[in-house]
């Protein structure tokens, strides 16, 4: 895990990205650099939501984990594998509908989903607007070092990485 950055370093200044390349570069760079801080911030959001509705957060977490594990198991059943290969969009729509009905059945998921949405919104908005004074060469070197971290793994799984040819 990368080191925890000082809170004063987390807020160096704000600048709106000028184009999509600048947005992409800044987002990936800050997600890698501040990932421990983002984990602490997200944990704080869940703790605050837990104080507001502890049963809702606990039940929501359990339900979402169960849905995820069940969907990972069900997706490997032969009829669904065929559907996924034949029409991925249809499979995605069916998956979203099933998750929607499960979420409707368990209203407690709303608290968990709200905490997740707030956490993601804060993280992505900070990562895209935070303007660190580090040159691209240093950021690329830093991104190479942080590829083995959880955020590096997640970004690689999504097909996102720092561009090394600039």
DSSP annotation string for 49-72: HHHH-HHHHHHHHHHHHHHHHHHH
Q: Decide if 117 is inside a domain.
A: yes
Q: Decide if 2 is inside a domain.
A: no
Q: Is the pLDDT of residue 162 over 60?
A: no
Q: Decide if 109 is inside a domain.
A: yes
84-101 average pLDDT score: 80
Q: Decide if 26 is inside a domain.
A: no
pLDDT-derived band at 79 (thresholds 50, 70, 90) equals: confident
Predicted confidence at residue 165, as pLDDT, reads 43
CA distances from 80 to 9, 51, 66, 89 (A): 48, 40, 19, 13
Residue 91 domain boundaries: 35-129
CA distances from 135 to 126, 131, 162, 164, 166 (A): 19, 11, 13, 13, 11
pTM: 0.65
**How many folded domains does the chain comprise?**
1
CA 104, distance to chain mean position in Å, is 23
pLDDT-derived band at 44 (thresholds 50, 70, 90) equals: very high
Counting Cα atoms < 13 Å in the Cβ hemisphere of 101 gives 5
**Burial class of residue 104, CB neighbours in 10 A (0-12, 13-18, 19+):** exposed
Predicted confidence at residue 40, as pLDDT, reads 92
Q: Decide if 106 is inside a domain.
A: yes
Q: Decide if 14 is inside a domain.
A: no
Q: Decide if 112 is inside a domain.
A: yes
153-166 average pLDDT score: 61
**Measured distance CA(26)–CA(32) in Å, rounded:** 10
Contacts of 90 (CB under 8 A, 6+ apart): 83
38-54 average pLDDT score: 89
Q: Is the pLDDT of residue 164 over 70?
A: no
Q: Decide if 162 is inside a domain.
A: no
Q: At what angle do helices 35-52 and 150-157 cross, to 10 degrees?
A: 90
């Amino acid at each position: 895990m990368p080191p925890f950055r000082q809170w004063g370093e987390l807020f160096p200044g704000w600048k709106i990205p000028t184009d999509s390349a600048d947005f992409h570069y800044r987002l990936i760079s800050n997600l890698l650099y501040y990932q421990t801080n983002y984990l602490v911030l997200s944990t704080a959001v869940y703790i605050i939501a837990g104080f507001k509705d502890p049963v809702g957060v606990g039940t929501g977490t359990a339900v979402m984990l169960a849905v995820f594990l069940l969907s990972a198991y069900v997706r490997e059943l032969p009829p669904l594998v065929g559907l996924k290969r034949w029409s991925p969009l249809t499979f995605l729509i069916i998956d979203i509908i099933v998750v929607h009905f499960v979420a409707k059945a368990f209203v407690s998921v709303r608290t968990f989903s709200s905490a997740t949405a707030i956490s993601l919104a804060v993280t992505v908005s900070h990562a895209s607007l935070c303007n660190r004074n580090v040159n691209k060469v240093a950021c690329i070197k830093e991104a190479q070092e942080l590829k083995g971290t959880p955020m590096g793994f997640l970004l690689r799984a999504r097909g996102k990485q720092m561009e090394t040819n600039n």
